[in-house]
Structure 1
Amino acid sequence: MMTKDQYIESLRKLKLNLYMFGEKVENPVDNPVIRPSLNSFAATYELAEDPQYEDLMTATSHITGKKINRFTHMHQSTDDLIKKVKMQRLLGQKTAACF
Protein backbone atom coordinates (compact mmCIF):
# COMPACT_ATOMS: atom_id res chain seq x y z
CA MET A 1 0.00 0.00 0.00
CA MET A 2 1.16 3.50 -0.78
CA THR A 3 1.31 6.28 1.75
CA LYS A 4 -0.24 9.68 1.12
CA ASP A 5 3.17 11.12 0.24
CA GLN A 6 4.01 8.22 -2.08
CA TYR A 7 0.70 8.73 -3.88
CA ILE A 8 1.37 12.44 -4.41
CA GLU A 9 4.93 11.73 -5.54
CA SER A 10 3.67 9.08 -7.99
CA LEU A 11 1.46 11.74 -9.59
CA ARG A 12 4.43 14.08 -9.91
CA LYS A 13 6.31 11.40 -11.88
CA LEU A 14 3.54 10.97 -14.46
CA LYS A 15 4.04 12.63 -17.81
CA LEU A 16 0.53 14.07 -18.07
CA ASN A 17 -0.81 16.12 -20.96
CA LEU A 18 -3.48 17.90 -18.98
CA TYR A 19 -5.48 20.83 -20.25
CA MET A 20 -7.91 22.89 -18.22
CA PHE A 21 -9.99 25.76 -19.56
CA GLY A 22 -8.15 25.44 -22.87
CA GLU A 23 -4.68 25.83 -21.38
CA LYS A 24 -2.02 23.24 -20.63
CA VAL A 25 -1.44 22.62 -16.91
CA GLU A 26 2.31 22.23 -16.41
CA ASN A 27 2.16 21.12 -12.77
CA PRO A 28 -1.21 19.47 -11.99
CA VAL A 29 -0.14 18.34 -8.50
CA ASP A 30 0.31 21.88 -7.23
CA ASN A 31 -2.38 23.54 -9.33
CA PRO A 32 -4.72 25.46 -6.97
CA VAL A 33 -7.84 24.27 -8.83
CA ILE A 34 -6.84 20.59 -8.89
CA ARG A 35 -5.12 20.33 -5.50
CA PRO A 36 -8.28 20.18 -3.32
CA SER A 37 -9.49 17.10 -5.21
CA LEU A 38 -6.02 15.57 -5.06
CA ASN A 39 -5.97 16.17 -1.30
CA SER A 40 -9.27 14.31 -0.96
CA PHE A 41 -7.85 11.30 -2.78
CA ALA A 42 -4.62 11.52 -0.78
CA ALA A 43 -6.72 11.37 2.40
CA THR A 44 -7.79 7.85 1.42
CA TYR A 45 -4.16 6.76 1.72
CA GLU A 46 -3.71 8.60 5.00
CA LEU A 47 -6.83 7.07 6.57
CA ALA A 48 -5.81 3.59 5.38
CA GLU A 49 -2.68 3.92 7.53
CA ASP A 50 -4.67 4.91 10.63
CA PRO A 51 -5.36 1.83 12.82
CA GLN A 52 -8.68 3.39 13.85
CA TYR A 53 -9.98 3.10 10.25
CA GLU A 54 -8.06 0.04 9.09
CA ASP A 55 -11.15 -2.20 8.96
CA LEU A 56 -13.00 0.17 6.62
CA MET A 57 -10.10 1.52 4.58
CA THR A 58 -8.23 -1.71 3.88
CA ALA A 59 -9.02 -5.25 2.80
CA THR A 60 -7.10 -8.45 2.19
CA SER A 61 -6.55 -9.19 -1.47
CA HIS A 62 -8.06 -12.51 -2.52
CA ILE A 63 -5.31 -12.65 -5.18
CA THR A 64 -2.16 -11.93 -3.17
CA GLY A 65 -3.33 -12.31 0.42
CA LYS A 66 -1.78 -8.91 1.19
CA LYS A 67 -3.41 -5.91 2.83
CA ILE A 68 -4.56 -3.42 0.19
CA ASN A 69 -6.48 -0.17 0.02
CA ARG A 70 -10.20 -0.92 -0.21
CA PHE A 71 -10.42 1.26 -3.34
CA THR A 72 -8.36 -1.34 -5.19
CA HIS A 73 -10.19 -4.32 -3.69
CA MET A 74 -12.43 -6.53 -5.83
CA HIS A 75 -15.46 -7.09 -3.63
CA GLN A 76 -15.99 -10.69 -2.62
CA SER A 77 -18.95 -10.51 -0.26
CA THR A 78 -21.89 -8.50 1.01
CA ASP A 79 -19.68 -7.47 3.94
CA ASP A 80 -17.15 -6.01 1.48
CA LEU A 81 -19.86 -3.91 -0.13
CA ILE A 82 -21.18 -2.69 3.22
CA LYS A 83 -17.66 -1.67 4.24
CA LYS A 84 -17.23 0.14 0.92
CA VAL A 85 -20.37 2.21 1.58
CA LYS A 86 -19.25 2.95 5.15
CA MET A 87 -15.81 3.89 3.86
CA GLN A 88 -17.34 6.32 1.37
CA ARG A 89 -19.45 7.89 4.11
CA LEU A 90 -16.36 8.29 6.30
CA LEU A 91 -14.44 9.90 3.46
CA GLY A 92 -17.31 12.28 2.78
CA GLN A 93 -17.29 13.31 6.44
CA LYS A 94 -13.50 13.71 6.57
CA THR A 95 -12.94 15.44 3.23
CA ALA A 96 -16.30 17.05 2.34
CA ALA A 97 -15.84 15.45 -1.11
CA CYS A 98 -17.92 12.93 -3.02
CA PHE A 99 -16.34 9.56 -3.79
Structure 2
Amino acid sequence: MPDVGLYAEAALRKTIFGVPLGTSPEEWESALGNDFLDDVRKSRMRRDYGLIEVAFERRSGLRESVSVSLQIHRMYVTDESSQGPGNREPSGRSS
Protein backbone atom coordinates (compact mmCIF):
# COMPACT_ATOMS: atom_id res chain seq x y z
CA MET A 1 0.00 0.00 0.00
CA PRO A 2 1.42 3.42 -0.88
CA ASP A 3 2.23 5.64 2.12
CA VAL A 4 -0.58 8.10 1.35
CA GLY A 5 -3.08 5.22 1.25
CA LEU A 6 -1.94 4.07 4.69
CA TYR A 7 -2.35 7.58 6.14
CA ALA A 8 -5.78 8.00 4.52
CA GLU A 9 -6.95 4.60 5.80
CA ALA A 10 -5.80 5.48 9.32
CA ALA A 11 -7.48 8.89 9.30
CA LEU A 12 -10.73 8.04 7.52
CA ARG A 13 -11.45 4.45 8.52
CA LYS A 14 -9.54 4.34 11.81
CA THR A 15 -7.86 1.11 10.73
CA ILE A 16 -4.31 0.11 9.83
CA PHE A 17 -4.02 -2.64 7.20
CA GLY A 18 -7.65 -3.47 7.92
CA VAL A 19 -7.18 -3.87 11.70
CA PRO A 20 -9.58 -1.64 13.68
CA LEU A 21 -9.29 -0.29 17.19
CA GLY A 22 -10.62 -2.60 19.89
CA THR A 23 -8.72 -5.64 18.65
CA SER A 24 -6.25 -7.82 20.55
CA PRO A 25 -2.45 -7.76 20.36
CA GLU A 26 -2.61 -11.12 18.57
CA GLU A 27 -4.75 -9.65 15.79
CA TRP A 28 -2.25 -6.81 15.32
CA GLU A 29 0.60 -9.30 15.22
CA SER A 30 -1.22 -11.35 12.61
CA ALA A 31 -1.61 -8.28 10.39
CA LEU A 32 1.72 -6.50 11.01
CA GLY A 33 4.09 -9.32 11.91
CA ASN A 34 6.25 -10.10 14.90
CA ASP A 35 8.96 -7.43 14.52
CA PHE A 36 7.90 -5.20 17.43
CA LEU A 37 8.82 -4.09 20.93
CA ASP A 38 6.26 -4.28 23.76
CA ASP A 39 6.37 -1.78 26.63
CA VAL A 40 4.07 -3.11 29.38
CA ARG A 41 3.09 -1.02 32.39
CA LYS A 42 0.30 -2.20 34.67
CA SER A 43 -2.95 -2.18 32.68
CA ARG A 44 -1.43 -0.42 29.64
CA MET A 45 0.81 -1.76 26.90
CA ARG A 46 2.47 0.01 23.99
CA ARG A 47 3.50 -2.03 20.96
CA ASP A 48 6.11 -0.31 18.79
CA TYR A 49 6.42 -1.47 15.18
CA GLY A 50 8.68 1.46 14.23
CA LEU A 51 6.42 3.60 12.05
CA ILE A 52 3.28 2.33 13.78
CA GLU A 53 2.63 2.33 17.54
CA VAL A 54 -0.43 0.68 19.05
CA ALA A 55 -1.60 1.32 22.63
CA PHE A 56 -3.59 -1.33 24.49
CA GLU A 57 -5.54 -1.27 27.74
CA ARG A 58 -6.71 -4.22 29.77
CA ARG A 59 -10.51 -4.34 29.77
CA SER A 60 -12.46 -7.21 31.33
CA GLY A 61 -9.19 -9.10 31.68
CA LEU A 62 -8.26 -8.84 27.98
CA ARG A 63 -6.04 -6.33 26.21
CA GLU A 64 -7.59 -4.33 23.40
CA SER A 65 -6.20 -1.56 21.23
CA VAL A 66 -7.33 1.92 22.18
CA SER A 67 -5.15 4.09 19.94
CA VAL A 68 -2.80 3.89 16.99
CA SER A 69 -0.22 6.47 16.02
CA LEU A 70 1.83 6.76 12.86
CA GLN A 71 5.38 7.85 13.69
CA ILE A 72 6.02 9.63 10.39
CA HIS A 73 9.01 11.48 11.83
CA ARG A 74 10.84 8.12 11.91
CA MET A 75 10.80 7.77 8.11
CA TYR A 76 13.95 8.41 6.16
CA VAL A 77 14.97 8.34 2.53
CA THR A 78 18.41 7.68 1.13
CA ASP A 79 20.05 7.83 -2.23
CA GLU A 80 21.65 4.40 -2.25
CA SER A 81 23.73 5.23 -5.30
CA SER A 82 25.73 7.75 -3.26
CA GLN A 83 25.81 5.95 0.09
CA GLY A 84 26.65 2.42 1.03
CA PRO A 85 24.10 0.39 2.99
CA GLY A 86 25.85 1.12 6.29
CA ASN A 87 25.97 4.88 5.79
CA ARG A 88 22.32 5.79 5.72
CA GLU A 89 21.34 9.15 7.11
CA PRO A 90 17.79 10.31 7.83
CA SER A 91 16.52 12.73 5.19
CA GLY A 92 17.23 16.36 5.88
CA ARG A 93 20.65 15.64 7.33
CA SER A 94 23.86 15.91 5.42
CA SER A 95 27.07 14.02 6.03
Structure 2 length normalisation: TM-score? Answer: 0.29
Q: Which has the higher contact order (CA 8 A, sep 6+)?
A: 1
Q: Which has the larger radius of gyration?
A: 2
Greater strand share, structure number? 2
Greater helix share, structure number? 1
Structure 1 length normalisation: TM-score? Answer: 0.29
